[in-house]
Amino acid sequence: MVGGGVRDLLLGREPKDFDVATDATPEDVKQVFRNCRLIGRRFRLAHVHFGREIIEVATFRGMHESTSDQARQDSENGMLLRDNVYGTIEEDALRRDFTVNALYYNIEDFSVVDYADGLKDLEAGVLRLLGDPEQRYREDPVRMLRAARFAAKLGFTINPACEKPLLENGDLLDGVPPARLFDELLKLFLGGTALHAFEKLRHFDLFRHLFPETEECLSHEEQGFPITFVIRGLKNTDTRVREGKPVTPAFLFAVFLWEPTRLRAQQLEAEGRSRHDAMMEAGREVISRQISRVSIPKRFSLQMREIWNMQHRLELRGKRALRLLEHPRFRAAYDFLLLRAESGEADVELAEWWTLIQDVSEEKRIEMVNATGGGGRKRRRRPRKRPAKE
């Protein structure tokens, strides 16, 4: 076993998963396990399935000097596009990103094998890259996000030599495929340390390369006060993760992109659009621009837009609004409204009204609706005119 699972066990944490390293090639692994699937082009890996569990098996990586162009391929800025060079366990250790992730657990004698002083850094609480930091970031810019994630998750400090290039090479993230950034952001923000990870990304000036429009909004104050909506949303996410409650990426991305969407909707309303149409168009525009940086699968972007569009409907509080209680996205939209109220954007009384109405009887709900003047009378339908007989 190798990597994060070994690291977390040594720290007294419960590993999320386990990775295996071997001298067997991916093709060899597939011959041994019929429940094996080979994945990846950049890094060829074997995924061995055991029910819902997946054990990731990687072949020991080798050094680059004696590699062929077919095995290794770089982009113009030094990013590795393909790297399937195999070698020894000693070479594999030196090819890993951080020293604390280069620890191996040998199941033959139950020993921890350390080729890179990872145990020393683990005890000191330091994140240190193996090799030249700038070169390692250029080979794979996602390592910059991993540095922020591990620093937030483990509470470690980043070695100064590895920290300085973080502040200078954020533009390398612009060349990373949007789909890969989406996967990495889920690890960053759905692990229970979303707020700390967010603070690290902004400190190292990396966040703007992921959410440029959001960063632009956060750089300004509103009515003399800093915008706290994103921070409150991330605190809420961390709380839910700690309590074992589900967190959907749709809600997370709806939080991140709300400010640019809200401001664009206000512009469209000022141009004469209805509030509903303005929000629909603003959501479409913002998501369309965002996916060029970080992809958002359609199943999540549709949920995001529903959450945003329901904010106006939650303000109506009439009989038609009560139907929202049965909407599959009501709970997410309600939680979103609470965040808006906490940050001073939405009416606190409105949020309290929706909180109360969920826990009262049907009779009491009708009373509450009538008290807001939202009861109304049923409309009488006009009889359809029959066509004149010829």
Residues 100 and 96: their CA atoms lie apart, in Å, by 9
Are the C-beta atoms of 366 and 375 separated by less than 8 Å?
yes
8 A C-beta contact, residue 158 and residue 147: yes
DSSP 299-316: HHHHHHHHHHHHHHHHTT
Q: Which one is catalytic: 83, 97, 114, 121?
A: 97
Rounded Cα gap, residues 165 and 339, in angstroms? 35
Residues 6+ apart with CB under 8 A from 328: none
Single-letter amino acid, residue 17: D
Beta strands, E only, the chain: 19-22, 36-39, 45-50, 53-59, 72-74, 80-83, 103-106, 111-114, 126-127, 157-158, 221-222, 225-226
The active-site residue out of 17, 23, 277, 347 is 17
Would you call 205 a catalytic residue per the annotation? no
Tell me which amino acid residue 26 is. P
Is 17 an active-site residue? yes
If you write DSSP's letter for every residue of 177-215 in order, what string do you get?
A: -HHHHHHHHHHHHSSS-HHHHHHHHHHTT-HHHH-HHHH
> Among this protein's residues, is 174 annotated catalytic?
no
DSSP state of 61: B
The answer to whether 336 touches 307, Cβ cutoff 8 Å, is yes
**184 backbone dihedrals φ, ψ, rounded to 5°:** -70, -35
- Residues with active-site annotation: 17, 19, 97
